Structure 1
Amino acid sequence: MEPAVFGEDRLLVDLGWCTLTLSQLGYISFMGIGIALLWPWNCFLSASGYFIGKFGADSALGRNYSSTMMTVSTLTSLASNSILSTRQFANFERRVMNGLILNVSAFLILAFVELIDPTLHSPFYFTGIMLLVLISAVGTSFQQNGCMALANVKGPEYAQAVMVGQAIAGVLPSLSLLLSELVYLRDNERSSTSIVLYFVMTSIITTVAGLVFHITHKMEAPMAFAPDEENIDSSPTHGYVPFKTLFSKLQYVVLTIVFVFMVSLVFPIFASNTTSVHKGKIFDDAIFVPLAFFIWNCGDFTGRVLCGYVPFVISNDVKIFAYSILRVVLVPLLLMCNIDSSDTPIIASDTIYLLLQFFFGVTNGHCLSCAFMAVPLYCDENEREAAGGFTAVFLSLGLLLGSVFSFLFVPLVG
């Protein structure tokens, strides 16, 4: 099977313990940025239970934590990406690094505050957390805009590397959650020490990804980017690319991105409310729900990895868009499963339900990867950097619309 990555690069990089070609090292660095893109969001999401417990599940702050966090994050991402997409002449490597610095700073501050006083649960502290969510979302927008601009210039395989990195950032936290539930089954105590370590680990992962990306970028041939965002070359090699031009070329690709997220973000609603048709400790909800999340993320990872091989890559934008629409058929199938311990589910099988979740994840990762890999194929060379910011806007729009759309399914599973 023919790989879709690495090409014919023969320049070797000796790392001491292994030898890679420069293109392979570049692929790994973009995969690391993909991990750093999604890990902060997953960290805030995974910490929801901890913060809800701190503020009190029955309190106004506790009840509104998750929805407020997601709203602040998605709105900030949409606004940030919209602004960044209009600033097309920039040092995109620096944008990535600035984004990484913002995310590292946000989580180190959060870890420090939790370490100093883990009993904080005031409205002021709630506001502070939301401010850090905002800072993290701005940082992620800088990373997203910068890395996708560079990936579009370097080739579709680098966009696929970012997609794989994001999938890894989805699998590892869900695996961690599943293992913790297996170890601490029916233990309701949550140590503040573990959450501090989780925040510090997020900072470490983000820092390592940034260092690898920075070092690899410096090893590669110099690219024609401005030295910094405040001192931009007054004679860019290409002109400003209007949104209208980009949309005329990428309309099916960006609509695919929006539609994929609109459909996929109903997944947490089903995963959180579908229980096992069997009874017993091994099928306890505390295990079954994290298992569904883990299996979905494994499917997502599988779909993105498949795009590393040419036969699995769909390049036609109309076909990709049709693919994103066809995924809707999975939603009614999930509705037939054992939602909230239904007495007579149409699909009374845990195996079929988990396979549906896996397939849901596969199609999510595969369709998204195909869409992002198709971007440079439909743009002229002088439009590819601008296309990175353009697609980031629609990614944020898809997340926002998906979050809103998911609320429509709450009454159906309640």
Structure 2
Amino acid sequence: MDRLKSFLQSKKVDEQEYEPLNENPESHEGTSSSHQHHQHHHHAPDDVPFSWVEYGIFTLLGVAMLWAWNMFLAAAPYFQSRFQEDDWALQNFQPAILSVSTLTNLGAMLVLTNIQYSASYPFRINLALYINVTVFALLTISTRAFLDTSTTAYLAYVLCMVALTAWAAGLIQNGAFAFASSFGRPEYMQAIMAGQGVAGVLPPLVQVISVLVAPPEDSLQNVDGVTPAIGTAAFIYFLTAVIMSIAAIVAFIPLVHRHNHIVENRMIEQMAASMTSVEEAERASRKVVREWVEEGEREVSGGFMGLCLVAGLAFGSILSFTAAGI
């Protein structure tokens, strides 16, 4: 009986301890709403108003992110015509392009992932776009000049251009998503993904337009050799990549100013205390994500990407065997 009484008494005490929270719900709701308002004020995406102009710029960055690689795919017939004198280059240039691009992009992502605190994401985006402008300007020139270059030299030249493009892709992929997240608007991340989708649709349209602009005079008789139509088509592909990158550079300028204004408003206290620039204040507030955490979160996606790489390399080899009659 004594134990039962003590148990019931302790239960009453416990109920009394929690009773004040239930007796004053208004106070509790006021505190909760105040806390939620505080969190909403600092963390809600509505702090930064949505802008369709900014959405369009991020979409353009997404297009520029994949446009370069898609132009290499679209120009495959031109490369075949340039490598026709060398059977080994003709059969293996596509797997070589894929391997160089993938390995370079992987190396770029590993290096950039380990440089987070001191990273300047606008600089990475601009650098990637300038690299693309330079690379595709050189490729555009190569469709009109140096046509008598040896196959080996031209293959090495193309692989160097692919490596630079892959490095630029790593820069803009790392920089654009981090830059978009700093705005606090999930729609802008979505805009980049939408731009990548657009980049997958527009290159075929460019191919169709290039054929309409420069139709082959006799497609059945001009199978071998670099015909004017194929050269003109490649010229259009590479030139559109240059134009797309320049457009992204110009459109990115007001977005950087907007970003600096947002960061300045958020970091006004830190800047007043010791920081000398907006970028320095933004870096001081960053939370560096450990590499092992990132790897743990993308095990599944990384596995599927590796599977796609193996399948792509195998497809290139099988295609080469088929072309060789094996």
Range class of TM-score, shorter chain? 0.5 to 0.7
Q: Could you tell me which runs of 5 or more consecutive residues in structure 2 were left unpaired when the two chains were aligned.
A: 1-44, 268-274
- Tell me which moved more, 145-154 or 233-242: 233-242
Cα distance in 2 for residues equivalent to 1:227 and 1:255: 40
TM-score (normalised: structure 2): 0.68
Q: 1:153 to 1:203 in 2, by over 3 A?
A: same
1:209 aligned to which of 236, 241, 248: 248
Answer whether contact 1:57 1:63 (CA < 8 A) is retained: no
Residue 402 of structure 1 is matched in structure 2 by 308
Identical counterparts, % of pairs: 27
One-letter amino acid of the counterpart of residue 118, structure 1 = L
Match of 1:170 in 2: 200
Q: Is the 8 A contact 1:55 1:122 kept in 2?
A: yes
Stretch of structure 1 that moved more, 54-63 or 67-76 = 54-63
From the superposition, tell whether residues 102 and 258 of structure 1 become closer, same or farther in structure 2 (CA, over 3 Å).
same
Q: Greater CA deviation, 126-135 or 218-227?
A: 218-227
One-letter amino acid of the structure 2 residue matched with residue 63 of structure 1: Q
1:51-80 per-residue CA deviation (whole Å, 9 max, x = no partner) reads 111111761111111010010000000000
Q: Following the alignment from structure 1 to structure 2, what is the Cα–Cα distance between the partners of residues 37 and 171?
A: 14
Distance in 1, matches of 2:200 and 2:282, equals: 41
Which residue of structure 2 lines up, in the alignment, with residue 27 of structure 1?
55
- Name the CA distance, whole Å, in 2 between partners of 1:411 and 1:46: 20
**What is the CA–CA distance in structure 2 between the aligned matches of 1:234 and 1:40, rounded to whole Å?**
31
Structure 2 counterpart of 1:205, which letter?
Answer: M
Q: What code does the residue aligned with 1:124 have?
A: A
**Map of 1:63 onto structure 2:** 91
- Looking at structure 2, the residues matched to 161 and 234 of structure 1 have their Cα atoms a distance apart, in angstroms, of 23
Comparing both structures, which one devotes a greater share of its residues to helix?
A: 2
Q: Is the 8 A contact 2:59 2:192 kept in 1?
A: yes
**Structure 2 residue aligned with 1:366:** none
- Provide the rounded CA distance (Å) in 1 between the counterparts of 2:238 and 2:102: 20
Q: Residue 86 of structure 2 contacts residue 151 of structure 2 at CA under 8 Å; is this kept in 1?
A: no
Alpha-carbon separation, structure 1, partners of 2:181 and 2:48: 22
Say if 1:123 and 1:411 are closer, same or farther in 2 by CA, change over 3 A: closer
TM (norm. structure 1) is 0.54
Q: Matched residue of 1:120: which SS?
A: coil
Kept after mapping to 2: 8 A contact 1:38/1:166: yes
Shift of 1:247: 4.2
- Equivalent residue in structure 2 for 1:223, among 244, 253, 263: 263
1:234 is displaced (CA, Å) by 11
Partner of 1:191: 230
Aligned length: 254
TM-superposed deviation, 1:223 = 2.6
Is the CA contact 1:110–1:199 (under 8 Å) kept in the aligned structure 2? yes
Partner of 2:108: 80
Distance 1:68 1:406, change over 3 A: closer
Contact 1:55–1:121 (Cα < 8 Å) also in 2: no
| 1:91–1:227 Cα contact (<8 Å) kept | no
Measure the CA separation in 2 of the matches of 1:77 and 1:143: 11
In structure 2, what is the Cα distance between the partners aligned to 1:211 and 1:257? Answer: 33
**1:113-132 mapped onto 2 (5 Å cutoff):** 113-132=142-161
| CA RMSD after TM alignment | 3.3
Amino acid at match of 2:168: G
Per the alignment, do residues 194 and 235 of structure 1 end up closer, same or farther by CA in structure 2, a change over 3 Å counting? closer
2:77 — aligned with what?
49
2:77–2:230 CA contact under 8 A, matched in 1: no
